[in-house]
Amino acid sequence: MKKIILITLALIVIFYAFKQLVYKPYMWKKAMNSPEQKLQLGSFIFSKQRGSNGSQSYQTNYFIFKVTEINEDYVRLSVIRQLSEKDKLKSSNFSTTKESYKDLKKNIKNITITRILKEDLYKEGASYTLNDYLLDKYPSLKKSRYYYEDIPVNKKNIPLPTDPYELQDYFNLLYSREKIIAKGKLVPWRLDNNIPVLSPRLSEEIDLILN
């Protein structure tokens, strides 16, 4: 009986190792070569991330990103969010619910998602709130409150800033292109004494890329 249990456990370990080391990398490489799932400007990246729920336990957070810039190995992402309604402010880390995550996986191409410049999100009232200014400048918000934050085109694909504050801001939500393609992971770039370095320990698994 013990022998059967040991053999079963060994087979489970072998199957898991095969899935993680052979099957998943193969399927990811295959996806990266398909027009529907390869990484490119405008891609949607779906990621499930483990995070603290404020106590000693953990919960799964669901994020959907938009690829807004690719500059050599630097891939800039912006979270897909919903603007709060007036007097109904949302308090969150900008993750979405499990149900919305599943729904957007199926329907994101059919939903209006507005590109909003970062500077416009702080005009006329509380930030991240739908207001008359945003509705006037971005009429598509009348169809849907979904949006992503972006920077002006003239600030993309430029050399690294020399100003320390601008440099710090530049590395917000910046990830490695090579790691996304080769590993299927969001490995962030960060600054170490103003020198760009990768942070593999802070990496998150990518669930899906859609174009």
Tell me the C-alpha distance between 81 and 178, whole Å.
26
* Furthest CA-CA distance within the chain: 73
Nearest to 146 by CA among 104, 203, 191: 104
Tell me the C-alpha distance between 81 and 182, whole Å.
28
CB-CB contact of 75 with 39 (8 Å): yes
CA distances to 3, 13, 19 from 7, rounded to whole Å, are: 6, 10, 18
Q: In what order do the strands lie in the sheet with 74-79?
A: 174-176, 74-79, 58-71, 44-52, 204-210, 185-186
* pLDDT, position 64: 95
Q: Give me the tens of pLDDT residue by residue for the chain, a chain 211 residues long.
A: 666 766 666 667 666 655 555 556 666 667 667 778 889 999 999 998 876 655 566 788 899 999 999 999 999 999 999 988 876 666 555 788 889 999 999 999 999 999 999 889 887 766 788 888 999 999 999 999 999 999 999 889 988 888 888 888 899 999 999 999 999 999 999 999 888 999 998 899 999 999 9
Q: In what order do the strands lie in the sheet with 114-117?
A: 81-82, 146-150, 114-117
* pLDDT, position 121: 85
The predicted-structure confidence for 89-148, as pLDDT tens digits, reads as follows: 665 557 888 899 999 999 999 999 999 998 898 877 667 888 889 999 999 999 999 999
105 Cβ neighbours under 8 A, 6+ residues apart = 46, 208, 210
Structure tokens at 149: 């934050």
Render 173-200 in DSSP notation, one character per residue: TEEEHHHHHHHSEE-BEEEETTEEEE-G
* pLDDT, position 11: 64
